[in-house]
Structure formats: structure tokens, C-alpha cells
Structure 1
Amino acid sequence: MIVLGIILILVGYLLPVPSIIVTIGWILLVVGLILTILGAVGRGVGGRKTYF
């Protein structure tokens, strides 16, 4: 999720595409970071401790 978020943010800023791509990229990045932090502290979400 984090990697996909970063890719969408870069594509949104480099290419003339609608800004919704950048917004979706930021949302994916934030959700990926939250899930990573929760997994690192031992709190699994949805039965998983890591999300890639």
C-alpha cells in the first residue's frame, strides 16, 4: 500500500492527470503507514501483522 501510494503521488505530480490520483495516493500512503505501525507494535489488523 505504501509503495502504491508513493507511485500514485509521483504519477499525479509528474503527468497531467486529474488531482484525484494524488488524493488516492496520499490516502493509500497514510493507511499503509498506519497498518505498518499497528503491525510493528504487535496489534494485528484483520488477522495480519504485516501488510505489503
Structure 2
Amino acid sequence: MTQEYDLIVVGGGPAGSTAATAVALRGHRVLLLERETFPRYQIGESLLPAT
């Protein structure tokens, strides 16, 4: 496992995962840290229709 990273992102929510993906697609080594377990709700999946 790599111990050196160009970027460490704390939080795998919408912003964190988007940032980590964008940087990784440009060829950088990225570590994404998330404390929650997966799978978890998708964006909007837990929203109530009345909101």
C-alpha cells in the first residue's frame, strides 16, 4: 500500500468524493478517508417527497 499521497481528503460526501475523483483523474495519488460504513444512502435517496 502506498504511504505517500499528493492529496488526503477527509470526508467522502458529495464534495469530498468529487474532489478526490477529480484530482485522481489527473494522475495524482489520493487518499480518501471516510468514517461511515458503506453502502450508504445515495444523494437524494433519503429525502422525503414532501420536502
Query: Which structure shows the bigger proportion of residues in helix conformation?
Result: 1
User: What TM-score do the two structures reach when normalised by structure 1?
Assistant: 0.32
Greater CA radius of gyration, 1 or 2? 2
User: What TM-score do the two structures reach when normalised by structure 2?
Assistant: 0.33
Query: Which structure shows the bigger proportion of residues in strand conformation?
Result: 2
